[in-house]
């Protein structure tokens, strides 16, 4: 057999190709990578963001010149924020929540990579355009007229759409939206029981038809479900959460994470059996078996409960028979918590001070033990809500006014700057005893109602206020908290008859 030679034609061709590739590699090494850097991922692209979404992330194909990126990044409309970096990722944290009902456009061009210079022939970043939208401005209320009477109604201001969520057979008493706005928890009685006054309200949930696509943080668990894969539920789908077979259901609250419900209940066969029950996913409702207390709120961390206990406010774990975490004997009522759970507003009725008889004091109480008195009033302090970044409080107040030898309560809204602690009356509200207020999730708009009651005894079909007065009708008002061109804040009457409005998150 003849011995094959190494330098056959195919061998020579292969060797030549290898030499060409080696030369090309050496050329790339010495000439540098001339491919343009680009944005690999923008985690808010085509997503809908809420007040809890305060940071977006851009991921680049290579390390970037940070100053050139920060200088050339544009967001329209403007969203002030601050930059931070981790390798090829840039995070932009908003200083305030994005105003709701707005579409935003992000543009980035002319940025350079980390190793280029102003004289470099390396191309600049491929122009990038992204788009995202904030949640719609939407709220729910209880209707008072016609087909809406006693029913839960959803109104989307951004889309100018209205949808009745609950059936005619139910009279809605109270409600609280879930954190993703897809459902609303509400208490209601069937119309016949309501007319009889039997207090047979049950807890339900109803779908709103809203299905947002929230952004996903690249650092999150990759196994977390993607909202885009979840099938939206049409509006008006009702589920029974808690019946009233053995107990009457009174006040309730929903935790910030939407996983816990606390209900005040009384045993029908034993009225002395009165207390708080907790409802959590896949667990039967169970009593907390501690002091029944009065008004209560679930704390923003969804782990404990603030309860008015006659001689003070107790902080209780959401566990049966648990010992209190804290007790604040100075205060008779807790009104609200800041979103980060570091501060609360509480009312001191000054019972131990004869000089302050009939005077109520609003306090700011922090988790560091600070108790700061904000103001005093001889009227009522009905509600206070923190702005998202805790810069201010908006409080629904009333002052006593003497008219024709009798005192009436004049409601008004007050703002409290939590830096200077200056309190200012911002608008006087229509004269009435019953009024509800709700601050939008972006902190820019207040809703309140103007309930008109009748002096006549309520008939069986009448909707009623919390103190039992028959409601003749009710109006809803919108109050933008950004001053107009004249520097004034003016309420706007909405063409919607209803009461007890609440913004969706």
Q: Write down the domain spans for the chain.
A: 39-116+123-133
Neighbours of 226 (CB within 10 A): 10
Position 1 scores a pLDDT of 45
Fold (topology level) of 39-116+123-133? Immunoglobulin-like (2.60.40)
Cis peptide before 385 (omega within 30 of 0): no
Position 469 scores a pLDDT of 75
Single out the residue of 208, 235, 233, 213 nearest to residue 225, CA to CA: 213
Position 22 scores a pLDDT of 74
Position 463 scores a pLDDT of 83
Number of H helices, E strands in the chain: 3, 35
Q: Please state, in angstroms and rounded to a whole number, the distance separating the CA atoms of residues 57 and 153.
A: 37
Q: Please state, in angstroms and rounded to a whole number, the distance separating the CA atoms of residues 236 and 206.
A: 6
pTM score: 0.88
Q: Averaged in consecutive runs of 10 residues, what is the pLDDT profile of the chain (505 residues)?
A: 56 71 62 73 96 96 94 97 95 97 96 74 85 97 94 96 96 96 96 80 97 80 61 91 95 96 94 92 88 84 90 88 86 94 94 85 94 93 94 92 76 94 90 86 95 68 73 90 81 93 97
Position 461 scores a pLDDT of 63
């Amino acid at each position: 057999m003849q011995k094959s030679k190494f330098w056959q034609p195919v061998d020579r061709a292969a060797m030549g190709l290898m030499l060409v590739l080696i030369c090309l590699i050496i050329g790339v090494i010495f000439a540098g990578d001339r491919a343009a850097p680009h944005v690999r991922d923008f985690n808010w692209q085509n997503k809908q963001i809420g007040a809890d979404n305060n940071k977006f992330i851009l991921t680049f194909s290579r390390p970037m010149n940070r100053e050139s990126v920060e200088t050339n990044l544009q967001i329209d409309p403007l969203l002030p924020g601050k930059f931070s970096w981790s390798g090829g990722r840039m995070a932009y944290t908003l200083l305030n929540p994005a105003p709701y009902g707005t579409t935003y456009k992000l543009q980035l061009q002319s940025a350079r990579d980390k190793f280029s210079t102003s004289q470099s022939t390396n191309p600049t970043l491929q122009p990038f355009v992204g788009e995202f939208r904030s949640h719609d401005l939407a709220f729910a209320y209880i209707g008072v007229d016609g087909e809406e009477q006693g029913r839960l109604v959803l109104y989307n201001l951004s889309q100018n759409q209205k949808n009745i969520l609950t059936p005619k057979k139910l009279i809605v008493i109270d409600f609280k939206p879930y954190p993703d706005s897809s459902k609303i928890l509400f208490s209601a009685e069937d119309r016949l029981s309501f007319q009889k006054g039997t207090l047979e309200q049950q807890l339900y949930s109803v779908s709103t038809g809203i299905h947002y696509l929230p952004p996903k943080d690249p650092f999150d668990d990759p196994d977390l479900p993607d909202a885009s894969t979840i099938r939206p539920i049409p509006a008006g789908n009702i589920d029974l959460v808690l019946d009233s077979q053995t107990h009457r259901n009174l006040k309730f609250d929903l935790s910030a994470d939407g996983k816990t419900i606390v209900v005040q209940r009384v045993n029908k066969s034993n009225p002395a059996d009165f207390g708080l029950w907790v409802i959590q996913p896949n667990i039967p409702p169970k009593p907390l078996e501690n002091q029944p207390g009065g008004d209560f709120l679930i704390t923003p961390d969804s782990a404990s409960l603030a309860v008015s206990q006659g001689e003070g406010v107790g902080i209780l774990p959401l566990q049966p028979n648990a010992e209190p975490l804290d007790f604040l004997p100075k205060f008779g009522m807790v009104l609200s918590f800041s979103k980060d759970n570091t501060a609360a507003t509480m009312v001191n009725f000054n019972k131990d001070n004869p000089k302050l008889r009939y005077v109520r004091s609003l306090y700011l109480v922090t988790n560091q033990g600070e108790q700061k008195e904000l103001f005093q009033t001889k009227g009522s302090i009905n509600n206070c809500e923190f702005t998202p970044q805790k810069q201010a409080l908006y409080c629904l107040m009333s002052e006593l006014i003497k008219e024709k030898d009798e005192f009436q309560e004049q409601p008004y809204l007050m703002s409290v700057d939590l830096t200077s602690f200056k309190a200012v009356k911002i608008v006087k509200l229509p004269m009435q005893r019953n009024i509800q207020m709700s601050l939008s999730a972006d902190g820019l708009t207040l809703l309140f109602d103007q309930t008109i009651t009748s002096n006549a005894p309520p008939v069986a079909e009448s909707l009623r206020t919390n103190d039992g007065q028959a409601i003749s009708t009710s109006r809803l008002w919108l109050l933008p908290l950004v001053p107009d061109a004249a520097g004034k804040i003016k309420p706007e009457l909405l063409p919607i008859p209803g009461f007890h409005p609440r913004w969706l998150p």
